Amino acid sequence: MIQKNSPLPIYYQLEEAIKEAIQNQELTPGRMIPSEREYAEKYGISRMTVRQALSNLVNDGFLYRQRGKGTFVAHQKIEQPLQGLTSFSEDMRSRGLEPSTRVISFKVVPASHDLASKLEVEAGTSLFELKRIRLADQLPMAYEMLYISKEVAPDLTEEIAQSSIYEYVENKLGLKIQHGRQVLEASIARRTEAEMLQVEEGAPVLMIERRSTLESNKPLEVVKSVYRADRYKFTIDMERFS
Ligand code: 16G
């Protein structure tokens, strides 16, 4: 597979060979790949060359390293278009992935001034505060902290929080979710977030804050989410102003 007399550099050929093995599932996500020495022996090339190919693949997100363990095949990132106002459950199902949720805490708290103004309620109003880990095919994708006023969703339960809140709002409460505004920033996982998402502290994450409103213009939710940057990328379609 590696041609030493090709004009293509050897490290590049090895990168392509490994990418191909990932594509045709000889190497599956989460699996440890052979060591530098094994690749070097298999192809009769230097370990330096193997190291360069593997580093490039780590930088490009095809592989990841775990300190003291080895190099593994990365999970393909989920590509999420930013145009539609969709729920986590819908997003995962539309990709053929099974959504699930682990509720970490479910409480009623008084609205702070900041949340009260975002949700257009009086400060001190009872809000549901939900912390949830959102998983796709059992893999943690995001850690969410959601606030929703008790006035809007009076009979929200932990059981509902374990499945889809949007489904509950639309089908049980009969309300139409109309609009959302989302702010997205880069950050790193702090200790709790790292634990929830099963990444190392300091791993890159995407922080998203969404505020969505109902047809009546009444705010529905304020949600702060931390998404694993190694599992997610966002796309947006743009038109040039004419
Ligand atoms: C997404 C939304 C969140 C919403 C949730 C509903 C982002 C950043 N956040 O996670 O605001 O509450 O979907 O999902 O996309 P559910 O209907 O599955 O509970």
Domains of the chain: 10-73 (1.10.10.10), 78-235 (3.40.1410.10)
Q: Which sign does the torsion angle of CA 32, 37, 40, 43 carry? A: negative
44 C-alpha vs ligand 1 centroid, how far in Å? 50
What is the 3-state composition of the chain as percent helix, strand, coil, each rounded to the nearest 5?
A: 30, 35, 35
pLDDT given at position 67: 85
Q: How far apart are CA 174 and CA 194, in angstroms?
A: 36
Q: Which sign does the torsion angle of CA 161, 171, 149, 99 carry? A: positive
198-207 own/partner pairs: CB under 8 Å, 24+ apart: 198/140, 199/228, 199/230, 203/228, 203/229, 203/230, 204/229, 204/230, 205/229, 206/232, 206/234
Q: Which of 87, 100, 226 has most ligand 1 atoms within 8 Å of CB, for mutation? A: 87
Q: In this structure, are residues 197 and 228 in contact, taking their beta carbons and an 8 Å threshold?
A: yes
Q: Which of 131, 145, 223 has most ligand 1 atoms within 8 Å of CB, for mutation? A: 223
What 3-state DSSP class applies to 25? coil
Least confident stretch, 70-74, 77-81, 98-102, 118-122: 77-81
Q: Which atom of ligand 1 is nearest to the CA of 167?
A: 17
pLDDT given at position 176: 97
pLDDT given at position 189: 97
Q: What is the mean pLDDT of residues 114-143?
A: 96
pLDDT given at position 221: 98
User: Considering the chain, what is the average pLDDT of its residues?
Assistant: 94
**Does 120 score more than 90 pLDDT?**
yes
| C-alpha distance from residue 222 to each of 3, 4, 12, 77, 149 (Å) | 56, 57, 46, 25, 10
Q: What is the mean pLDDT of residues 70-77?
A: 90
Q: What is the mean pLDDT of residues 149-174?
A: 96
Nearest to residue 128, comparing CAs of 139, 144, 143, 142? 144
**Does 1 score more than 80 pLDDT?**
no
pLDDT given at position 83: 86
Residue that wins the pLDDT comparison between 170 and 59: 170
E strands of the chain, at which residues?
A: 63-66, 70-73, 78-81, 99-110, 126-136, 139-149, 177-188, 204-214, 219-228, 232-235
85 C-alpha vs ligand 1 centroid, how far in Å? 9
**Does 61 score more than 90 pLDDT?**
no
pLDDT in tens, 178-233: 999 999 999 999 999 999 999 999 999 999 999 999 999 999 999 999 999 988 88
Dihedral pair phi/psi, residue 42, rounded to 5°: -60, -40
**Does 100 score more than 90 pLDDT?**
yes
